[in-house]
Copies of this chain bind each other. A is one copy, B any other.
Amino acid sequence: MFESTFADAGRRDWVDSGGDEGGNGDGSGSDGDDTTTRIATVGCGNYARSVSIPAMARGDYARPTVVVSGDADKRAALADEFGVTALDYDEYEAGAATDEYDAVYVATPNRLHLPHVETAAGHGKHVICEKPLEATVERAERLVGACEDAGVRLMTAYRMQTDPVMRRLRAFVAAGGIGDLQRAVGDFTFPVLAGDAGPEQWRLDGRLAGGGALYDVGVYPLNTARFVAGDDPTAVSATVRSPDDAFDEVDQHVDFRVEFGGGDADGWVGNFSASFSGHPNTSLELLGTEGRIAVRSAFQPGADREVTVETAEGTMEFAGLGADETVEEFDYFAHAVATGGDIEPDGADGLVDMRTLAAVQASARAGERIELER
């Protein structure tokens, strides 16, 4: 079963036919093609500039056509590199160049997602919004409502849901490849101060970010385990530690246990963790009644996922089956918008995590297990 599940790992299972449905097969873009979507990027931080916009440019269905930034130098550099129209925030809000994009990618600090999504929805543009959806549950609910009210599509930018390896692992688990899931273990340790950005960055600003390691990277093991298992949380329990001064407003280390499916035979538990300092680490492990799956380099952008699958049949290790999940992410969104296809990591999916993250914070404060409303 393992081999058959992974034999077609290169195929885009979200495209109905295996062949060319259109798109920019040559990567060059073509106006008016009915399977491409032109995307305006709002917020041009390092991740958007170095990962997201280049991924759109490499895609078959996504095309970067507009950028919105408050920084004139960034606007000029991006216009030069990608041939995009560059706007400042006033121009974006006023509706400049709305005929040059079909959808908006919101990549600003978390607490600014809502106003930029509201602007996009007001312009009638579809939205792909970075995770977590906002800095609070209430604001995230308003964000989702704004898209619903305007009749525009909304995707929460969970790139692991379009990672080919994770999609195959989901199929393998759903087909009973490791029996019934009993437990997941996942960690994302991201030394946020190790790069160019110092302690003044928005990720350490409690109000702008909404949370620290939990919000920025803890959502990866949580959402990816939910995606691979196809379940939603029922209760959480958490511990937070922030010993270093740089993290006086946000969690530096979080360890959170998430219960799924209650105490019956269908239930399972996720032991997740995230840190904003320490040796870099991303891992996801799934333990079942009949086997075990372990993924190293599980969440790094564009990394080769190292996968071990252990069952009664034996142990298989593989690597090199993946593809750049961020290219996949924007192509998945662009293709769905252009063709009316399903968007699985939708606003409702993003809201489940927002409510879970809020419960994790509340649990850590109270020292109590907190049940989630279903």
Identify the A interface with B (CB < 8 A).
178-179, 182-183, 185, 187, 189, 235, 237, 239, 241-244, 253, 255, 257, 259, 263-265, 267, 269, 271, 273, 275, 277-279, 281, 287-292, 310-311, 367-369
Contact = CB atoms under 8 A, between A and B. Distances in A.
Given A237-B239, A278-B288, A253 B189 contact: no
A193 to B, nearest CB: 12
A263 B287 contact: no
24 contacts: A182-B278, A183-B187, A183-B275, A185-B185, A185-B273, A187-B287, A237-B369, A239-B259, A239-B269, A239-B369, A243-B267, A244-B265, A255-B269, A257-B271, A271-B271, A275-B287, A278-B287, A278-B289, A279-B287, A279-B292, A281-B287, A367-B368, A367-B369, A368-B368
Given A241-B263, A279-B311, A368-B369, A182 B253 contact: yes
A242 B178 CA distance: 20
The 8 A-B pairs of least Cβ separation, nearest first, read A367-B369, A243-B265, A271-B271, A255-B269, A182-B278, A241-B263, A278-B289, A279-B291
Nearest to A311: B279
Q: How many copies does the complex hold?
A: 2
Given A241-B269, A243-B267, A310-B279, A287 B369 contact: no
A328 B178 CA distance: 35
A313 to B, nearest CB: 12
Contact of A267 (B241, B259, B292): B241
Contacts of A271: 185, 255, 257, 271, 273
A287 to B, nearest CB: 6
A185 to B, nearest CB: 6
B237 A183 contact: no
A79 to B, nearest CB: 38
Q: Which one of A265, A310, A369 has the highest number of Cβ atoms from chain B below 10 Å of its Cβ?
A: A369
Contacts of A257: 237, 239, 255, 257, 271
Contacts of A185: 185, 187, 271, 273
A269 B243 CA distance: 13
A279 B178 contact: yes
A179 B267 CA distance: 37
Contacts of A253: 182-183, 269
A269 B369 CA distance: 17
A103 to B, nearest CB: 38
Nearest to A368: B368
Contact of A289 (B235, B241, B277): B277
Contacts of A275: 182-183, 287
A273 B243 contact: no
